Amino acid sequence: MFYSIMLATLIAVLPTSPAANLTKVAARGQGGELKLTNVRLTIGELGGPRPTTKLLPGDVLFIGYDINGLGIDGDGTAKYKMSMEVRDGADKAIFKQDPRELVDFVPLRGNSIPARAFITIGLDQDAGNYTCKIKVEDPKVKGKEDTVTVKFEVTKREFGIVAVYPSHDERGTFAAPTTGVVGQTVFVQFSVASFQRDAKTKQPNIELQFQLLDDKGTPTLEKPRTHIQDSGVEAADGAFGMRFPVFMNRTGKFTVQLTATDKVANKKVTYELPLTILPAN
């Protein structure tokens, strides 16, 4: 099962990820073209480029793009329609979100609005190739629209660290980029999915380790921070969420290294998240 949310936000333009799996449909329009550009797959809503188009069940695919050529009213009001459809490898529609009109307040105006769509991959989703098509329309001008198509692959279900993204707050409500400034704190949010449960306790037994590496690959902590998750996971839950804080006290390029060990299944996985810290203004 797929779950989807579309949203538009005022954000910085991020580097474009490899475009091999990103295709465009030419815009049609009157009174100037509407174009979707700078299409990229990102780590979280504001993160850097996602390194792969393969996703484990339980993961989240973030698709970023810019809406160009959209008229923004003098009072900063921007109106547009967005719709999305996901098809499997046999070209069968398995998810569809009908067009809905969105209204944003864009006080900087201009003619470009960064936007996001994301898809949460259900734990029971079949493995295979999928295509997501996103369409944006200008409701003021009939036929003024553009479409972008993104291809991705869902792999077979297995133990893994998924849905990784940084946030400004501990609860993970406000997404953060993977670039910050000295003095700032971000929380690395993630989920551990598809673990096994102990036959007696009916709970998982997961050891989590948190480490930071500098630009030479040297650990910054003498020993990783460790957490054991062996209670409090509901019987119906196939995944649970966690977070680790990162206080940015110095500049540099670092890597957040997350390691999860399923002691019941005797499996171990590692996820690495690049993090850049810049001087404060």
Q: What is the CATH number of the domain that holds 10?
A: 2.60.40.3880
* Best CA proximity match to 43, nearest among 21, 60, 25, 66: 60
State the number of CA atoms in the 13 A half-sphere of 156 facing the CB: 1
Over 50: is that where the pLDDT of 215 sits?
yes
Same domain, residue pair 196 and 59: no
Same domain, residue pair 14 and 125: yes
Least confident of 71-75, 155-159, 186-190: 71-75
Same domain, residue pair 240 and 204: yes
Residue 140: give the domain boundaries.
Answer: 2-154
Same domain, residue pair 214 and 186: yes
Least confident of 16-30, 129-143, 215-229: 16-30
Same domain, residue pair 166 and 192: yes
Same domain, residue pair 6 and 67: yes
Report the CATH number that the domain containing residue 168 is assigned in CATH: 2.60.40.1930
Over 70: is that where the pLDDT of 18 sits?
no
Tell me the backbone φ, ψ of residue 200, rounded to 5 degrees: -90, -50
Same domain, residue pair 28 and 111: yes
Residue found under tokens 């969105």 = 102
Which tens digits make up the pLDDT trace of 123-165?
999 999 999 999 999 998 989 999 999 999 999 999 999 999 9
Positive or negative: CA dihedral 177, 178, 184, 188: positive
Which tens digits make up the pLDDT trace of 39-50?
999 999 998 899
Positive or negative: CA dihedral 60, 228, 256, 167: positive
Same domain, residue pair 124 and 228: no
Over 80: is that where the pLDDT of 105 sits?
yes
* Best CA proximity match to 237, nearest among 280, 203, 266, 264: 203
DSSP per-residue letters across 169-232:
STTS-SB--SEEETT-EEEEEEEEES----TTT-S--EEEEEEEE-TTS-BSSSS-EEEEE-S-
Same domain, residue pair 228 and 190: yes
Over 90: is that where the pLDDT of 24 sits?
no
Total structural domains within the chain: 2
N-term to C-term CA, the chain: 45
Same domain, residue pair 81 and 170: no
The residue out of 124, 154, 184 marking a domain boundary is 154
What pLDDT, on a 0 to 100 scale, did the predictor assign at position 47? 84
Q: In the predicted model, what is the mean pLDDT of residues 46-66?
A: 94
What pLDDT, on a 0 to 100 scale, did the predictor assign at position 281? 81
Is residue 277 within 8 Å of 254, Cβ to Cβ? yes
32 pLDDT band, cuts 50/70/90, is low
What pLDDT, on a 0 to 100 scale, did the predictor assign at position 111? 85
Same domain, residue pair 169 and 124: no
The residue out of 134, 154, 174 marking a domain boundary is 154
Same domain, residue pair 146 and 35: yes
Percent of the chain with pLDDT over 70: 89
Residue 271 neighbours by CB distance under 10 Å: 16
Here the tokens at position 235 are: 């019987």
The residue out of 90, 124, 154 marking a domain boundary is 154
Which tens digits make up the pLDDT trace of 74-93?
999 999 999 999 999 999 99
What is the pTM assigned to this prediction? 0.84
